[in-house]
Amino acid sequence: MQLQSFDESYVERLQAGDFRTQEHFVAYFSELIQLKLRSRLNSPQAIEDVRQETFTRVFAALRGGKIRQPERLGAFVNSMCNNVLLEHYRASSRDSSLDDEEQQDFPAANVDVLGAIAAKQMGEKIREILEEMPERDRRLLREIFLEERDKDAVCSDFGVDREYLRVLLHRAKQSFKSLYLKNVAARPPGAVAVEKR
Amino acid sequence: MDHDEAVRQKATERYLLDELDPDLRDKFEEHLFDCQDCALDVRAAAMFVEQTKVILAEPPAVSVANVPAGAATAKPGWFAWLRPAFALPVLALLLAVIGYQNFVTYPSLVATANQPQVGTWISLNVSTRGTAANSVRVHRGEGFGVLANLPPQDGFASYTADLYNPAGKQEWSRQIATASQETRQIYISGHNLESGTYTLVVNGVTPGGESKELSRHPIDVQIQN
């Protein structure tokens, strides 16, 4: 996914229905929306529903010329997502769904071959980073992320504090980020390839 | 929340570790959707976390660090000798031995063999009975020759010579073909030769295959060191 600045030109291309710009827009914000929603919604289907509804409303707003600050496009998407999420909470409490609402077509995130290769390279890099870590740090990550144990209890067991955990993740991320940036920048817009097992 | 504050607070890491309280989380997300640097940070870290889960869920590969204690002490088996750690020094040793044999031992033996040799010999008259013991003095490992004078025109088809050691045990038996010459040469090897009285018995074999003892010759062997 190539990095693009969100400016007036970008918004104009979205409004004009430029396919590649729409692909980029959906791919870029899909990842952020999914990250945002995963701590708030339990079901993948609910996450997908909210994601789609958010894009439906954003594209409707674009077509209606309601985006007045192009440089705040991201904040607008986030705000729209919050609104949809609140409606989803209310709808869930009333045992109704958003399925009856009008659905509009917009580019879906897809998986491409080059993206799969890039994902494989990134997986190998992460494996390398993990192998270079001390055994204790690997066990720490395992208990936090894989076994999803209580973080305070894990830190206590390993004799570290929460800041140690943050720094461990920060360093790992920094080691991985350059390759990630290289692969993300090289991928065509709209391509999302995450190794799912 | 601005970018500097997000970096200062390690908001990316805290966001992925679910450490931000709801209010701070909302503020960071508002910034995150607008800031491509933070978005890149979060996406990279999220991918690291997701892949880490996959990798750490894999069964551990057998590595040097993970070899069970018992495996390190297991009996290696015969093929272990073919490992380079053993095979290379052994190969080097063999090459050294072969080299020594080719360049030192073998030329020395050839040179010795090409030298003129003066052997030790004794002479026996087979037809003579009750002769006194012959004495022969040789160095350890050396043999000696026996010149046996056979009786002429006695009608035997062949002869045999049997050698008995000082303990009376037969060491060997050789057939001696008849020939126009009356003297035969018998060589007694120095291998296993020891001091004491050996006995050489000569038998005549008739054309019908019957063996007849012709003579018995004591030989007093003295080994010199």
Q: Are A184 and B42 in contact (CB under 8 A)?
A: no
Residue A195 lies in a domain: no
Across residues A5-23, what is the average pLDDT? 87
Quick check: A28 and A187 in contact, CB under 8 A? Answer: no
Q: Is residue A105 assigned to a domain?
A: no
Say what the pTM is.
0.53
Of A60, A93, A126, the domain-final residue: A93
Select the residue of A78, A146, A151 nearest B56 (Cβ to Cβ): A146
Does this complex have an ipTM over 0.95? no
Domain shared by A70 and A121, yes or no: no
C-alpha–C-alpha distance, residues B150 and B202, integer Å:
9
B150's tokens: 């056979």
Residues A117, A75: one domain? no
- The pLDDT mean for chain B works out to 81
Does any CB of chain B come closer than 8 Å to the CB of residue A185?
no
**The pLDDT value given to residue A50:** 92
CATH of the domain at A89: 1.10.1740
pLDDT interval class at A30 (50, 70, 90): very high
Q: Do A29 and B33 touch (CB under 8 A)?
A: yes
- Better-predicted residue by pLDDT, A80 or A39: A80
Helical segments of B18-144, H only: 22-32, 36-57, 69-72, 84-100, 106-114
Residue A145 or residue A104, greater confidence? A145
Domain interval for residue A130: 113-186
Q: Does the pLDDT of residue A101 top 50, yes or no? A: no
Judgement on whether residues A14 and A88 belong to the same structural domain of the protein: yes
**Chain B residues with CB inside 8 Å of A77's CB?**
33
Lowest mean pLDDT among A13-27, B16-30, B81-95: B81-95
Q: Does A36 touch chain B (CB under 8 A)?
A: yes
C-alpha span between B135 and B122 (Å, rounded) = 8
pLDDT at B112: 67
Cβ-nearest to A122 among B30, B34, B51:
B51
CA B216 to chain centre: 46
Set of chain A residues whose Cβ sits within 8 Å of the Cβ of B29:
36, 78
Using a CB-CB cut-off of 8 Å, the residues of chain B touching A75 are 30, 33-34
Residues A24 and A68 in one domain: yes
Secondary element (H or E) of residue B188: strand B183-188
Confidence class of residue A115 from pLDDT cuts 50, 70 and 90? low
Domain boundary at A93, A126, A161, which?
A93
Query: A31 with A89, same domain?
Result: yes
Exposure b/e, B118-149, CB count within 10 A at least 16 = b: eeeebebebeeeeeeebebebeeebebebebe
d(CA B177, CA B160) in angstroms, rounded, equals 8
User: Distance between CA A93 and CA B154 in Å, rounded?
Assistant: 136
Coil, strand or helix: which one is A107?
A: coil
Q: CA of A174, closest CA in chain B: separation in Å?
A: 8
The DSSP code for B101 is I
Q: Using the beta-carbon criterion (under 8 Å), do B33 and A169 form an inter-chain contact? A: no
> How many distinct structural domains can be found in chain A?
2
The most distant pair of C-alpha atoms in chain A lies apart, rounded to whole Å, by 57
**Which residues from A are below 8 Å from B11, CB to CB?**
none
A120 and A55 in one domain?
no
Q: Are residues A166 and A137 located together in one domain of the fold?
A: yes
Q: Are residues A12 and A64 in the same domain?
A: yes
User: How close is the nearest chain B Cα to the Cα of A102, in Å?
Assistant: 26
B159 within 8 A of B204, measured Cβ to Cβ: yes
Q: For chain B, which residues make up each domain, given as ranges? A: 3-57, 121-224
**Closest residue in A to B56 (Cα–Cα):** A142
Give the minimum alpha-carbon distance from B14 to chain A in angstroms, rounded to a whole number: 7
Q: Is B29 near chain A, with CB under 8 Å?
A: yes
A108 part of a folded domain = no
- Single out the residue of A173, A77, A24 nearest to residue B10, CA to CA: A173
Q: What is the pLDDT of residue A94?
A: 67
- Domain B121-224: give its CATH superfamily: Macroglobulin (MG2) domain (2.60.40.1930)
Q: What is the pLDDT of residues B57-78, one digit of tens each?
A: 877 654 444 545 444 445 555 6
Residues on chain B touching A187 (C-beta within 8 angstroms):
none
Q: What type of residue sits at position A37? A: L
pLDDT at B193: 87
User: Using the beta-carbon criterion (under 8 Å), do A173 and B14 form an inter-chain contact?
Assistant: no
Decide if A98 is inside a domain.
Answer: no
Q: Given CB atoms, is A153 within the 8 Å cutoff of chain B?
A: no
CA distance A45 to chain B (A): 19
Across the beta sheet with B158-164, what order do the strands follow?
Answer: B134-139, B211-224, B196-205, B158-164, B170-177
Asked if A120 reaches chain B (Cβ–Cβ under 8 Å), the answer is no
Could you say which residues from 99 to 118 on chain A have a Cβ atom under 8 Å away from some Cβ of chain B? none
Q: Which uninterrupted H or E stretch holds B223?
A: strand B211-224
Please tell me the predicted confidence (pLDDT) of residue A197: 37
User: What span, in angstroms and rounded, lies between the C-alpha atoms of A169 and A172?
Assistant: 5
Taking CB atoms and an 8 Å cut-off, how many pairs form between chains A and B?
A: 111
Arithmetic mean of pLDDT, B130-152: 82
Asked whether the beta carbons of B27 and A36 are under 8 A apart, the reply is: no
Least confident residue range of A68-77, B5-14, B110-119: B110-119
Q: Which of B57, B47, B46 is nearest to B17 (CA)?
A: B46
Which tokens go with A103?
């659905």
What residues contact residue A145 under an 8 Å CB cut-off, 6+ apart?
Answer: B49, B52, B53, B56
Angle at B204 between CA B180 and CA B188, to 5 degrees: 80
The pair of structure tokens assigned to B203 is: 């038998």
Is residue A133, in this structure, part of any structural domain at all? Answer: yes
Q: Which two tokens stand for residue A197?
A: 């097992």
A75–chain B Cβ distance below 8 A for any pair: yes
B14 touches chain A (CB under 8 A): yes
Please report whether residue A107 resides in a domain.
Answer: no
Task: Please indicate, yes or no, if residue A147 is contained in any of the structural domains.
Answer: yes
